[in-house]
Amino acid sequence: MVEETKQLMLSLKERWQSPAGKDMLAKVLSSMRSGQPWNSFLSTLPAVEDVLTGRDLRGAPLNELELDNLDFRDASLDFAELRGASLEYADFRGAQLNHADLSGAKLGRANFAGCLMIRVDLTGANLASATLTNAALTGANLVGANFSQADLTNAGLFGAEIKGALFEGAILTNARFDRFAG
């Protein structure tokens, strides 16, 4: 990871470590679970103005949480930590998950249509019956991921590592798996 990207990752993750950051995240998750708007809780979050939608969860520590059925549409989750989280039926349409860690996550029937997921880590994740139409997974780590019955129509997986990934019954119409040159 280039130094500038590493520094950005560290600064985004650091925002959530203060008592105020932890309180903000708790309020956001509570609002999401009750189906209420949540971006207003982030108004004092450092660098929130960088995300046009205000739905800024970049670098958020969400490992091992139960987040099924939640609405992450158009949210920015770059560098978010979602290892082992349960996100079944979650709606990520139009979200950004660049460099996010979703290794071992339960993502069955989640909707990732139109997502930007550059270098996302989906190692061992379960994406059975998930929708990834028009998603960009360039350079993604998909080792051992389960895409059974998933819809990857028009998905771009350029340079993705797919060793041991399962695509049984997946819809791969116009999906692109090209390797990078060199």
Question: At CB < 8 A and 24+ separation, what contacts does 61-66 make?
Answer: 61/13, 61/16, 61/25, 65/29
Look at the chain and report how many structural domains it folds into.
1
**pLDDT for 150:** 99
Residue range of the domain that includes 104: 1-182
Confidence band (pLDDT; 50, 70, 90) for 52?
confident
Q: Could you tell me the CATH number of the domain that includes residue 80? A: 2.160.20.80
Give the global pTM.
0.94
pLDDT band at 41; cut points 50, 70, 90: very high
- pLDDT of 48 > 50? The answer is yes
What is the residue whose two structure tokens read 């997946």?
A: 170
Asked whether the predicted pLDDT for residue 181 surpasses 60, the reply is no
pLDDT-derived band at 182, boundaries 50, 70, 90: very low
